[in-house]
Structure 1
Amino acid sequence: MNRPNSARLINASIFQAIRQAKQQKAPFKHWTADNLLPQQTLTDFQHLPTSMSDMDYSEGQRSTNNKLRQYLHGDSYMKHREEQEFAAAFQSPHMMNLLYDKCGIDLSNTYLRIEYTCDQEGFWLEPHTDIGAKKFTLLLYLSESHGEEWGTSLYSDKETFHSNTPWVPNRAMFFVPSDDSWHGFERRDINGARKSLIVNYVVPEWRARHELAYPEALTKRFPVAA
């Protein structure tokens, strides 16, 4: 996985994709960005190992499987340079400024949390908003879906399904959690491994320190010129 100049390529690809992300207003404000990663980096992430074969999907909540969940965190999982460089891009002050300009949210003094997921047949998520301890959410789709519709389900409210975000490998969907950011995953066939990365910025009080990419480093934003 370790290749020369990968940091420059990964940074350039991520930043360009987020700058060019398209805003959608329904059913709540969110953005979609394509080609987030260089192709070889996407392939590397698609082949990360997983230990998620024994997931319990009965309750429609990821927290049911907390003991099996995997995060890009220090030496425990960020063993490859590409993982480290992906995390570094989202930790940088440049990213804080970009997301401030793009989404109008100041994410300085938060912690970066990156979860690697591998959902399988039977997976579903009840509608939820991410409001509270999570200040920003980005979902990066990794897997080839083989024609299946695996995208995130969006809702007009907790009870009203709106649409599924079209699943495309290397597409990111991101939003600022709010009272109306209802999303989840409607039950449907998953004939394969539905892999994704979930990037969050969370409040300093976040207790599960092992989930944080940099548990000793809050994010910082470059000062904005007056």
Structure 2
Amino acid sequence: MIRVLLADDEAVVRAGVRAILGTDPGIEVVAEAADGHAAVDLTLAHRPDVALLDIRMPRLDGLAAAAEIGRLAPAVAAAVLTTFGDDEYVARALDEGVRGFLLKSGDPRELIAGVHAVAGGGAYLAPSVAARVIGRLRTSELRREPDARARVESLTERERAVLSLLGAGFSNAEIAQRLHLVEGTVKGHVSAILARLGLSNRVQAALLAHDAGLTS
């Protein structure tokens, strides 16, 4: 069962998101918050698998709350749910270690898929956001690819294989299955990859994998 904390300052939005998540028998909303400070407090109290945070909330916005959750409860996967898909929000979310970026205007199935992805140790960008990010990568591909390739050359062959699958959106469990490893070993490889490449989260690693040509 995936345990979710839901934070949004609008009760009607929380009700709608809770109803969508309730259609999946493998997801349970264990706590709700109306502001960022409460989201952090309830995360520490309930230790959910996923903290699903609205970006624009009073007292503490969702991205600042995600940063606090990452510092105080790193085992909890933070994802943001917003009506805003601006690049500045995406960039800040990546900097704060957010694993998922979901749009309220998106398909409800994307919300469920995103929760499963981040709970499984993966990363998830709403398709419309991912398309924009990939588009930006393509416009700068000739400039960035040589540097990205040089950076991943510092990795071992196994680490490059893990990074390639991470870039393709696979969770730790799925990577373990494909490479015939135990999940704990994959987690160790991911941590080593992030440290060696100077990255703060899996989404940044996935974008670097694309830059380096490790994903098709």
Between Structure 1 and Structure 2, the one with more strand by share is 1
Q: Which has the higher contact order (CA 8 A, sep 6+)?
A: 1
TM-score (norm 2): 0.25
TM-score (norm 1): 0.24
Between Structure 1 and Structure 2, the one with more helix by share is 2
